[in-house]
Amino acid sequence: MTLALDVAPVMVAYDVAHFLAGMMLVASFMLLYQDRIFAVLNTFAAQAMLLALAVAWQGYVHHHPDLFITAAMAFGLKGIVIPLALNRMVVRLGIHRDVDQAVNVASSMFLGLGLTSLALLLVLKVTPGASSFTREGLALALAVILLGFLMMITRRNAVTQIVGFMSIENGLILAATGARGMPLVVEVSVAFSVLIALFVFAVFVFRIRERFDSVEIEYLDRVRGDRRVQGDGR
């Protein structure tokens, strides 16, 4: 492991990290672009695998072997287990395979571009002293997180909202590894809480489905009961 850093100059180390993080950002945009549920799930799996590669590369370059465990968890859990689970869920529920969007693709993409620019400019402004790895990792991670939020906001389907949530978590891991890695205990607990969140989501989605015959979250408004009919004099 030590020998590699001596051979690989800093520029290559940076280039590869930049490439992987940049591709994660592209994957986030592809998540926004896709209009089929299975395509969304595949893209999400690809993003998680890119995350695993990015984390492993950081561990390799900076000699933090514990990051390899993080990478393996990202690969196994988010690259394979969670997409497969979601896939099964979609098949079992027989969900309408098209993704229903609250905002059309073009507008959400442009919103995404705005958020990305915002994230990059913000991080570059507030971290002038940090190392180049940290700055660029943080900038791209913030962009991925904001795009995950955007995806949760613009999608009406519960499954795609889960994917949005998980991609926010991908961004958080990227940020954490960029900023000198987080302790393994924290990492493990985060990974398991995400897994538990998936179970909670799954149970929740099945219940929604049982009750309303659909996983469109619009139906939940009726349960909440606080939406007034238009023009009721208030």
Partner 1 sequence: MASPIQSFMAQGAQMFLVLLVAPAVAGITRKVKARLTRRQGPPVVQCYRDLLKLIRKDSVLAGNASWFFRTAPYLIFAFTWVAAALVPTFASGLMFNWAADVVALIALIGAARALLALAAMDVGTSFGGIGSSREMMIASLAEPASMLVMLTVALAAGTTRLPEVAQFLISQPLEIRVSFALAFVALVMVAIAENARIPVDNPATHLELTMVHEAMVLEYSGRHLAMIEAASYLKLVLYFSLVICLFVPFGMAPLHGEPIAWAIGLAAYLTKLTLAAMALGVWEVSIAKMRVFRVSEFLGSAFIFSFLAILLAFLSREVLR
Which of residues 94 and 128 has its CB atom nearest to partner 1 in the complex? Answer: 128
Spell out, one character per residue from 139 to 178, where the chain touches partner 1: x when CB under 8 A holds, - when not: xx--------------------------------------
Nearest Cα residue to 145 out of 170, 122, 123: 170
Query: Contact with partner 1 (CB under 8 A): which of 8, 18, 81, 100?
Result: 18
- Cβ 167 to partner 1 shortest distance, Å: 16
15 touching partner 1, by CB under 8 A: yes
Alpha-carbon span 21 to 137, nearest angstrom: 7
Which of residues 141 and 191 has its CB atom nearest to partner 1 in the complex? Answer: 141
- Cβ 117 to partner 1 shortest distance, Å: 6
Alpha-carbon span 114 to 36, nearest angstrom: 24
Query: Contact with partner 1 (CB under 8 A): which of 5, 93, 109, 122?
Result: 109
Which of residues 20 and 55 has its CB atom nearest to partner 1 in the complex? Answer: 20
Q: Which two tokens stand for residue 187?
A: 């990492």
Nearest Cα residue to 54 out of 4, 13, 112, 113: 13
User: Helix %, strand %, coil % for the chain, to 5?
Assistant: 80, 5, 20
Q: What's the half-sphere exposure (Cβ side, CA atoms, 13 Å) at 115?
A: 22
| Cα distances (angstroms) measured from residue 223 to each of 51, 150, 156, 219, 226 | 38, 24, 16, 7, 8
Which of residues 14 and 212 has its CB atom nearest to partner 1 in the complex? Answer: 14
Q: How many residues bind partner 1 (CB under 8 A)?
A: 27
Q: Which two tokens stand for residue 53?
A: 């590669």
73 touching partner 1, by CB under 8 A: no
Alpha-carbon span 219 to 207, nearest angstrom: 12
26 touching partner 1, by CB under 8 A: yes
Which of residues 13 and 67 has its CB atom nearest to partner 1 in the complex? Answer: 13
- Cβ 111 to partner 1 shortest distance, Å: 11
CB 200 within 8 A of CB 207: no
Could you tell me if residue 106 is left (phi over 0), alpha (psi between -120 and 50 degrees) or otherwise beta? alpha
> Which residues contribute to the site for partner 1 (CB under 8 A)?
11-12, 14-16, 18-19, 22-23, 25-26, 29, 33, 105-106, 109, 112-113, 116-117, 120, 124, 132, 135-136, 139-140
